[in-house]
Amino acid sequence: MTKLYQKSEISFAILWIVVYVVLSGIADQLSEAAGVMKSVTAALHIAMSLVLIFWIRKNDLGRKYGFCRSAVPVKRFLYYLPLILIASSAFWGGVKMQYGFPEAVMYIISMCCVGFLEEVIFRGLLFRAMEKDNLKSAIIVSSLTFGIGHIVNLFNGSGRDLTLTLIQIVFAVLVGFVLVWIFYHGKSLVPCILFHSANNAFKVFAAEGNLSPQSEIIINLVVIVVVLGGYLFYLVKTFPVCWKQMS
């Protein structure tokens, strides 16, 4: 693994993306066959997370990939309040335990690991691999690949229709831009991991079905346009990047 990394960081990042997506899909199917949702997936995600943690520590890459405190005071990031608001959106339609206890535990474990894995892979490995050659491309590719990857929800049995999936993709792309901006300027991936994990895990308590499809679409659009769009605008204005550096 280290040899491939030393040879090409981009190839290393792409390999991790492919392995993560493919194995997660297979694990979800095996979990359904086992009768406990996310049971196999949670075990897989724990194993992949541990592999990445040990590999990063072994190669002393913790600071490079943001395993440290933010270099920017939290108040300059508005105490991450917009991200907290977004994570809380899971409760806007009410609170309800979606699954039985074993499934809920497996789901939460899996989703927390997903937050860690996707941040390390997309904001860490992929972004850092591209950043040294072209910062603009690194920001765009890291954000777009992360967002477009959610198109798999059309085929994985999540039950989302085309409209909601497209909204989720736009939402994920904007989240990608926000998080990569925070990571690039703050040098820490920890806030990104915490938000991503919480945003995923809270869905287990969302009272799905209490809102009409139209209401759900409106709420999603408000979150995207007002909260995410406004926060990204603030970050770009507060932490500008030299365009020459980005070309």
Return mean pLDDT, the chain: 89
Helix ranges restricted to H, the chain: 2-7, 9-34, 39-58, 81-88, 101-118, 127-131, 135-148, 162-186, 190-201, 213-222, 229-238, 243-246
Average of per-residue pLDDT across 169-195 = 95
Q: What is the pLDDT of residue 151?
A: 62
Which carries the bigger pLDDT value, residue 115 or residue 241? 115
The number of folded domains in the chain is 1
Is pLDDT of 215 > 90?
no
> What's the CA angle centered on 128, arms 42 and 57, to 5 degrees?
55
68-96: string of b/e by CB count within 10 Å (b at 16+)? eebebeeeebeebebbeebbebbebbeee
Q: What is the pLDDT of residue 148?
A: 79
Domain around 125: 2-246
Which carries the bigger pLDDT value, residue 66 or residue 165? 66
Average of per-residue pLDDT across 50-74 = 97
Q: Which residues does residue 95 pair with via DSSP β-bridges, in sequence order? A: 206
pTM as predicted: 0.91
Q: What is d(CA 65, CA 220) in angstroms, rounded to the nearest whole number? A: 31
Q: What is the pLDDT of residue 157?
A: 47
End-to-end CA, the chain: 31
Which carries the bigger pLDDT value, residue 241 or residue 158? 241
What is the residue-wise DSSP string for 116-162? HHHIIIIIIIIHHHHHTT-HHHHHHHHHHHHHHGGGGGGTTT----H
212-221: string of b/e by CB count within 10 Å (b at 16+)? eeeebeeebe
What one-character DSSP code corresponds to residue 1? -
